[in-house]
Amino acid sequence: MFHKEGFKIITIALMIVVGLSLLANAFVENPTIRGGVLIALIILLIVVLQFFRNPKRNFTPQSEQVLSPVDGKVVVIEEVFEKEYFNEKRLQVSVFMSPINVHVTRHPVGGKVVYSKYHPGKFLVAWHPKSSEENERTTVVVKNDVFGDVLYRQIAGALAKRIVNYAEVGDEVTQTSDSGFIKFGSRVDVYLPLDTKINVSLNEKVKGGISILATRS
């Protein structure tokens, strides 16, 4: 199963692979070179398909928990001053996605979207300390009955060239529902109240909509 954001790119990639394969068969006489070209094209197609996959999962929304918005590895857990929306200290949990991770972004909590903003920017590597402030990114805040305002930020990486954000101010969203998509490598930061109990550790691998990032303390 593939995400809708990948349909156009998958179609283009398939056309390119088929076209170049036909050209290789027609004009490359050396069988070793021709075979190498075909293998490289097949690998390219597999990588594209892998990136846009959207595996079917059995989600169980949990009102007392903040779930990971994406698949990846936890790279930051720290108290920071969040200056775009809160202007106060928050607990930041960041999940880094490699190109082979599922890149669907899901709402970590349910509630009402009270803030949603796109910021153009640079394309520093996603783990760079300044990427959350200088890279292309979107910031979404969902007002939740248990945790209050929960902010999460999609951040483009060195390879990501487009962030898709579905959240609009006023939307009532369900935990684990699609919030967006980041194309080709990225990271998501989640900002939580200081009294939140963090349930993950650094370098832990998490799954979007499944892994529990935090609970009420």
Concatenated DSSP letters of the chain: -B-GGGHHHHHHHHHHHHHHHHHHHHH---HHHHHHHHHHHHHHHHHHHHHTB---------TTEEEPSSSEEEEEEEEEEETTTT-EEEEEEEEEE-TTS--EEE-SS-EEEEEEEEE--B---TTSTTHHHHBSEEEEEEEETTTEEEEEEEEE-SS--EEEE---TT-EE-TTSEEEEEESSEEEEEEE-TTEEE---TT-EE-TTTSEEEEE-
Q: Which of 186, 201, 211, 217 is catalytic?
A: 186
Q: Is 186 marked active-site?
A: yes
Q: Which residue numbers are catalytic?
A: 186
